Structure 1
Amino acid sequence: MTATSDKTRVLTGITTTGTPHLGNYVGAIKPAIAASQDPSVQSYYFLADLHALIKCQDPKRVEQSRLEIAATWLALGLDTDNAVFYRQSDIPEIPELTWMLSCVCAKGLMNRAHAYKAAVAENEEAGNQDPDKGITMGLFGYPVLMAADILMFNAQRVPVGRDQIQHIEMARDMAGRFNHLYKGQYFTLPEAVVDERVEVLGGLDGRKMSKSYNNTIPLFVSEKKLLKLVRKIKTNSLEPGEPKDPDTCTLFQIYSAFATAEEAAAMRAEYEGGIGWGEAKNRVFEYLNAHLREPRERYQALLEDPGHIEAVLRQGAEKARAEAAPFMDRLRQAVGLGRFV
């Protein structure tokens, strides 16, 4: 099943282990929402809740995160008529495809995965005799599950951060090997799409905005909390009136991720003119707050109506499975697991 329609297939997922923050929005949600409203694009958006189990064994946290992330996407305007929006765990064909791909994927390829190598390096630095201490098969085989997410719907383009490009290359490798072994064009080879304008958003301390660093600005915190967090963003000791470098400033990076090119250029000029940090932080807060006020209200209303979110996701799963089930029948036939009659 290669893509047959004129529409470009784009797929994005977010792991359901935490509350969505500004970095998630800029890196994944914002481009996804725009694509969902584009009639020339067939979009697939999913809650990566099977992936969540790799990192998190707290059921309440996973459950709450699924709800919050679904509400976030809907509050920000995801077009669920044009796009397919579903929970990964609602598509049983995905774990089945994961096994098929595991059987054609070289173990050496998984040995080179960034997350696995980082976990091994941590063990070695800690002096553990077993380099695989605490590493689960979920973590080790994570790129295979990600490949199944992508290849199940033959996504042509996958928006990712630069740190995720390796996973798309691995998915291409598995797709190509499957096509070769079973002598057919079953899978389209996906391409990574990296937004060069916004790489990885910085957090409160200047490092990458990440739940693991506890330096995030959640998307839909209250107005009061948002102001408090923006004021905590790390800056340097330059005084008002002294020119400041926007290119090394997390505050400017966050602003320009949301602003238009013209607004970012105007703020750049303010930096060169020596805007004070207090004034800059107030401007960034006011800008973010104005952009997030309406979606914040929609988000709160959605959280209070989980039945509506459930209905939207079930409808999405039906659309996804209408594609996944017949494709899996074809793949079963290809590998010799088809029905006898």
Structure 2
Amino acid sequence: MDRVLSGMQPSGPLHLGNLIGALSNWVRIQDKYECYFFVADWHALTTGYGNPSQIRDYTIDLLMNFLSAGLDPEKSTIFIQSQVPEHAELHIFLSMITPLGWLERVPTYKEKKEQIKDKDLDTYGFLGYPVLQTADIIIYRAKYVPVGIDQVPHLEISREIARRFNYLYGNDFFPEPEALLTEFPKVPGTDGRKMSKSYGNAIYLSDDEKTVTEKLRTMVTDPARKRKTDKGNPQVCPVFDLQKIFSTEDERQEITKGCTTATIGCLDCKAILIKHVINLMKPIWEKRQHLIDNPSVLLDIALEGSKKAKKVAGETLIKMKELIGWIS
């Protein structure tokens, strides 16, 4: 089986957008590929270096959500980045050969610096994020990284760094990671913008049923529809964008007809959505509660996964050092 690797930063609680956009896809592909999924806690330090203890708390929550959403430690290797120090060692070697200009032209580098104004991001860790990301991927010699089409340029720098290493040392030692293109539907938040913890518009997997229901009931709709008697346009309604993800085709047709003729109100539409979202999240809540009640299960899985990852990463490092003639 071809090897796949991906990770998530523990920079906040996981929300519905993360579940639909990435985590659900991980669950689907774990039967088809040899999968390595990790909590990228070192990456979270690039912007969260001021409060490392919070990253630890989010790491536990992220692991809990990995398992609650359906990742299976019998099928996938689930681990914590910082428990495999080989990532950092390879990062050092790669940082010595990566041109500065490559890092400065990464699209997200300038974007995040412009968006995040309350933190000093003029640090090497923030600039060098792609180098550590490359180490994360190629230390397992992963063939694929699941990404959406808009993220392909971000993966290209990892391919360039792997290619430069192979060129400098005269060997195709590291495979250039390929994009495993997957559909990442845009998941709107309660205010209509893309769901994000930084916007305060997210539905979290840790929210209870009452909270989820209230958030969806008060979600923004078609701004032109102020009363039930006003005819609406589902194509400009964020709630209907969620209906496209969660509801059936028959339900969407019924909603479209009722909205455009003003025979159903927004709360009627939202009731259908709430039903589907609650049904999706109920088994996740049950698994989360089981892990909260049995924390040792979570820690054991992370420990075993990290041991397995460390073994594979260590073997790669040994062979790499032999190739370049490094003796340590």
TM-score calculated relative to the size of structure 2: 0.90
CA distance in 2, matches of 1:30, 1:308: 22
Gaps of 5+ in 1: 1-6, 127-131
Aligned equivalents of 2:266 and 2:220: distance in 1?
Answer: 10
Instruction: Give the Cα separation in 1 of the matches to 2:173 and 2:233.
Output: 50
Instruction: Supply the AA of the counterpart residue of 2:300.
Output: A
Which residue is 2:280 aligned to? 291
Distance in 1 (CA, whole Å) between partners of 2:228 and 2:141 is 53
- 1:186 positional shift: 1.3
Q: 1:9 offset after TM fit, Å?
A: 1.6
Q: Which amino acid aligns with 1:321?
A: K
| Equivalent position amino acid for 2:239 in 1 | L
State the AA in 1 paired with 2:171. G
For residue 69 of structure 1, give the secondary structure of its aligned residue in structure 2: helix
Residue 194 of structure 2 corresponds to which residue in structure 1? 208
Gaps (5+ residues) in structure 2? none
RMSD over aligned Cα, in angstroms? 2.2
CA distance in 1, matches of 2:200, 2:234: 24
Note if contact 1:68-1:303 (Cα within 8 Å) is conserved in structure 2. no
**For 2:165 and 2:8, how far apart are their aligned partners in 1?**
26
User: 1:170-204 CA distances to partner (integer Å, 9 max, x unpaired)?
Assistant: 101111111111111111111223433x4332111
Greater Cα offset, 19-28 or 234-243: 234-243
Equivalent residue in structure 2 for 1:273, among 241, 246, 258: 258
Residues 322-341 of structure 1: matches in 2 within 5 Å?
322-338=311-327
1:164-203 alignment, distance < 5 Å: 164-196=151-183, 198-203=184-189
2:246 and 2:113 mapped to 1: Cα distance? 37
1:16 aligns with 2:3: no
Alpha-carbon distance in 2 for matches of 1:106, 1:54: 20
Counterpart residue number, 2:308: 319
Pair 1:258–1:150, CA change in 2 (3 A)? farther
| Secondary structure of 1:273's aligned partner | helix
- Amino acid across the alignment from 1:283: I
TM-score, normalised relative to structure 1: 0.87
Q: Report how far residue 161 of structure 1 moved.
A: 4.0
- Matched-pair contact (CA < 8 Å) for 1:162–1:199: no
Match of 2:29 among 24, 35, 39: 35
In structure 1, C-alpha distance between the alignment counterparts of 2:257 and 2:89, rounded to whole Å: 56
Count of residues in correspondence between the two structures: 320
Say whether 1:136 aligns with 2:128: no
Judging changes above 3 Å, is the alpha-carbon distance between structure 1 residues 94 and 206 closer, same or farther for their aligned structure 2 residues?
same
Instruction: Report 1:117-266 matches (<5 A).
Output: 117-119=110-112, 121=114, 134-196=121-183, 198-236=184-222, 237-238=224-225, 239-240=227-228, 244-259=232-247, 263-264=248-249, 266=251
Equivalent residue number for residue 94 of structure 1:
87
Question: Cα distance 1:137–1:270, how it changes in 2: closer, same or farther (>3 A)?
Answer: same
SS in 1 for 2:286: helix
Paired position in structure 1 for 2:46: 54
- The answer to whether the 8 Å contact 1:19/1:69 transfers is yes
Per-residue CA distance 1:246-279 (angstroms, 9 max, x = gap):
44332222233345xxx14531442233242111
Structure 1 residue 244, shift from structure 2 partner: 4.4
State the Cα deviation string for residues 36-89 of structure 1 (Å, max 9, x = none).
Answer: 2x1x31111000101111121223321111111101111122111111110011
